[in-house]
Amino acid sequence: MELPCRDVEPSGIRIRGSTGVLRRSAAILAEHEALQRSVRRMRGLCQAVALGQGPPVAETRRLIAGFLADLLTNFATEEGEDGYFDSLVAERPGLDARVAHLHAEHVQLAEVMDGVRILARDEGQGPHLALTLERALDRFQAHERAENQLLREVLLGAERRDEQ
Ligand SMILES: [Fe+2]
């Protein structure tokens, strides 16, 4: 049973949302932090590869494949039945369209990152791979910002005009 939890006030900030949202958001935020650490590693890889100073090709492929696997795990956590996305919509039905958009972005991002993995398999590494990976990471981080913003709005009770 999800208990209402509307009066938690760490640091004087009133937190809204059910315990279901809070519990799931803690897990999601931990995954997001881990992914951001991976993104920083991937950015470093991009710079090195662009300069022709990347690690051995096999290592580049392994890093990219590992990042893709972590990404898909995170998407599955967010999309799972009765999971994070479901808990957000249950808490705020007006967020349905924005959550559906984030879900659609998962499909696109998975395709884009799989394209990077295939490029690394075919080309090994080089400036084109570095640029393609950088663009994929830019899209992923924009997605993460939108997702984190949505969570902030749910937890802090803020509402966007277009939701009302
Ligand atoms: Fe996501």
Ligand 1 centre distance from Cα of residue 156 (Å): 20
Is the four-CA dihedral 27, 7, 4, 15 of positive or negative sign?
negative
Q: What's the number of domains the chain is made of?
A: 1
DSSP 87-128: HHHHH-GGGHHHHHHHHHHHHHHHHHHHHHHHHHHHH-SSHH
96 domain residue, yes or no: yes
Q: 146 alpha carbon to ligand 1 midpoint, in Å?
A: 9
Distance 8 CA to ligand 1 centre (A): 26
| Domain span at 16 | 10-160
Q: Is residue 38 assigned to a domain?
A: yes
pLDDT digits (tens, 9 = 90+) for 50-94: 888 888 888 899 999 999 999 999 999 899 877 788 888 888 889
> Does residue 98 lie in a domain region?
yes
Which CATH number fits the domain that encloses residue 132?
1.20.120.520
Share of the chain above pLDDT 90, in %: 48
Taking only the tens place, the pLDDT of each residue in 4-30 is: 444 444 555 455 556 667 777 778 888
Q: What are the residues facing 8 on neighbouring strands?
A: 15
Q: What is the pTM of this model?
A: 0.81
Find tokens 């935020």 and name the residue.
29
